[in-house]
A and B are shown apart, each in its own frame.
Chain A
Amino acid sequence: MTHNPPFARAPVAAWPWLLAGLLALPLLALFLRGFPALPGTAKDLDVVLTSLLLATAGSLITLALALGLAVLGVLGGVGRTLEALLLLGYLVPPFVTSIGVLYSLQAFGVRIYGVPGILLAWALHYAPLAYLLLKPQVRVALGLLAAARVHGVGGAKALQVFLPPLLPPLLVAGGTLYLALLGNFGVPAVLGLPERVYVLPTLAYARLLSPTAQDPLGEAAALGLWLGLLALPVVLLGRAGLLEAKEPLLPPARPAYRLPFALYALLALLLVLLGLLREALLNPYTGAWDPVFARALDLPLVQKGLRNSLLLALGATLLLLLLALALRPFPGLLRRVRGVLDLHYLLPGTLLGVGLILLLAPTPLYATPWLLLLAYLLNFAALALRALEGGLGVEGAVLAGRVHGLGRLRAWLRIGYPLLLPSAFAGAFLIFPLAFAEITLSALLYAPGAETIGVAVLSAINGGLYREASALGLVLMAFSALALLGRPRW
């Protein structure tokens, strides 16, 4: 057996590590600046606790809701159209969900700021995501339940059949939700800030803009570290593989179950939509018909925001997919790079945002749209790489091409990449809407002239332009509905 001398290969093997290290620099900068400032956050421990409790409670509520929906959906044999109605809720940016809920309930004289509002908006927004994660497993579990019934198991014992196979997917979905809620900035920014209910992402943002903070950057970095600490256990647990199972034998679908499912989907949508429509269309004082869309879209901040968000989202999506395609033939490199990029995606965006400020504030890159583009690239890269990772058949097909005499590059260009195109499209539909309505990173990193649409809406709310913010929320919602048309088969 021959092998290459180790030192001849060392440089080749080292540079993926170097690249991974470079990509991790923002987190390193955050750690170095935040660690010494950590004792200063002793006064903020209540916010650390609030963040932890809110994210945990939110995950549990959302999980229960999604489990119920998944059972109804499977038993009722819910079709794609009805499911799309439910999924629309997830495609609407979370901060738009919050504005909608806020104004809808205001119409009934209910003030929903603070903790209850945040939990409600989170549950409404994230239940469809958890539903998607749980549904395949609920099918399996319900199949087992049906089998158990045939064998005479019923009553409380049936739960012993139903729950165990659901436990791993519930943990996975719960972990995904927990990370999403912990890092979510939009909902607590809209519903928490006015009542001074802070979670770590909004507190870090407030610190950066606080005139009384002694060391705004250090304190924001330290809060970022807390956020990382709360997220770490779940990140380390990782995503357990979901159970793969054959299509189980289910009892025939009973349309009666479709009714509550449809009712929920409709109610959830109305709860968001009603308030937005009322604010955007009617004068709040006289009740007269007075649509505000033209005035909202006329604001220069909004025009700039829409243009920048569109360009940034397009640019980030295209660049990332090209990058992912370019890396696809080198699985070893891909794996190492993705290890770091996964962190940027899974860890709350606040960490990346503050890290980038620390790293790049003194450079000319600061206060330009390029900083935002860089942030989006780092944040969403893991999604692009994951989207193209699948398709094991691709390697085999490329190999076959090479056996038939094609060079490595040509084999990929002619055989490998065309096979990957559907995955690339699916990835684009995943990344583009997320980047378009991004708010966590943009709120931290935008500069005058480089505002995104998320920043514009947040400014409108904080500047008392409630009606304009609602109109923009509706525009963003319509945009999200378009993305639904391109929905791949989930």
Chain B
Amino acid sequence: MKVIPWLLGASLVLCSASAKDQITLYVAGAQLPDVQALVQAFNQVHPEITVQVFRSGAGEVVAKLRAELEAGNPQPDLIWLVGEGFFRELSQRGLLMRIAPTFPGLPPQYVYEGGRYYEVRLLHNIIAVNSRRVRALPRTWANLTKEDYRGQVVMADPNFSGPALVALGYLSDRYGFGFWEAMKRNGMAVEQSNPVLQQKLARGEYSLAITNDYGVRQEIAKGAPLRIVYPQDGVIVAPTPIGIPTWSRRPDLAEKFLRFLLSERGQRVFVERGYLPVLPGIPAPADAPSRLVGVRGREASAEILERFNAFFGLRR
């Protein structure tokens, strides 16, 4: 039968993926093209290593990982999220491998728990503005509750998006839950994810957004009529830790990837994708301030999230 060689060929190709030097990366807080750029640059240094990627919002990545842990079959060799909470949990359960913090020039605040996980780039929450629709720019987060912006503000769903969960945590800490009550009265919308919201903002469905900086820089580079406002009451730094779990079958390869991200070459890829670097001496993205002083945000607590969900009708 002629089909049998076909089938054999097909199964060979299907199998071949698992035979080589391969690691699996679970990542949030970066979009497909960003991860692609990083993996391609990594493969120029280490062409022998295949990197499989599962990318989604932080909420989904954590949920997938939890389900796999429950089934006793966790997949990733590298976990890279937005928000520190899940990493603390993994670290407490002794599930994170310590990597010696021997990265030349890396400031110590980017090494967590003595090297169990790391910060490899900086992601900020900022206010993005569609400049065709807004004349008077807001200056602070608190400005967003003004009557002028009624029905024009949007943010991402904190159940799905890591940066949004950090923004929810920071602004609730700083202004109390009353801030969100005022935002709701002012007609704030909640979209599923930051990249989707940024598309809609750029196309004029909304005028202002509480969102991440790197995605907005990318759209500006494509010609979108967007501007970034760095609020005076605090540009929010969302921690985006990365670490290697103890169950990894190839921690050696995973460490190579981590070391690449913290190399000069890796840092330059981050800058090209609109992120701010963690290594000193690497120039920031062209339209970003050379020194951006942010305040470190924390994810909202479960209580705050539940309250927010009930308030904005996000029960799923």
Contacts and interface: CB of A to CB of B under 8 A. Distances in A.
Given A208-B67, A464-B193, A315 B73 contact: no
B222 interface: yes
A100 to B, nearest CB: 17
A160 interface: no
Given A362-B71, A448-B54, A464 B10 contact: no
Nearest to B203: A284
Contacts of B203: 106, 284
A20 interface: no
B193 A462 contact: yes
Contact of A463 (B25, B31, B223): B31
Contact of A285 (B6, B159, B196, B202): B202
Contact of A217 (B3, B53, B62, B67): B67
Interface stretch (A33-41, A77-85, A364-372, A392-400): A364-372
Contacts of B305: 212
A286 interface: yes
Interface in A161-211: 193-194, 196, 198, 203, 206-211
B75 A465 contact: no
Contact of A210 (B71, B194, B316): B316
B64 A193 contact: no
B32 A285 contact: no
A206 B316 contact: yes
A459 B305 CA distance: 25
Contacts of A193: 192
A449 B193 contact: no
B178 interface: no
Contact of A460 (B32, B70, B222, B315): B32
A209 B64 contact: yes
A143 B39 CA distance: 65
Contacts of B195: 462-465
B95 interface: no
Given A284-B203, A318-B3, A448-B24, A196 B316 contact: yes
A283 B73 contact: no
B88 to A, nearest CB: 15
Interface in B271-301: none
A447 interface: yes
A373 B10 CA distance: 11
B10 A311 contact: yes
A334 interface: no
21 contacts: A106-B203, A193-B192, A196-B314, A198-B316, A203-B316, A210-B63, A210-B316, A213-B63, A217-B67, A284-B203, A300-B39, A301-B53, A307-B13, A311-B10, A361-B67, A362-B73, A369-B17, A448-B26, A459-B55, A464-B194, A465-B195
B17 A208 contact: no
Contact of A448 (B53, B73, B193, B314): B53
Interface in B30-49: 31-33, 36, 39
Interface of A: 43, 106, 111, 193-194, 196, 198, 203, 206-213, 216-217, 283-286, 288, 295, 298-301, 307-308, 311, 314-315, 318-319, 322, 361-362, 366-370, 373, 447-450, 459-466
Given A211-B159, A464-B196, A285 B63 contact: no
B36 A300 contact: yes
B222 A285 contact: yes
A35 B33 CA distance: 42
A301 B225 CA distance: 29
A465 B192 contact: no
B198 interface: yes
A448 to B, nearest CB: 4
A362 to B, nearest CB: 5
Given A208-B67, A311-B13, A315-B7, A465 B159 contact: no
B224 interface: yes
A311 B314 CA distance: 39
Nearest to B192: A194
Contact of B55 (A283, A298, A463): A463
B63 A209 contact: yes
Nearest to B305: A212
Contacts of B55: 459, 463
Contact of A318 (B6, B25, B202): B6
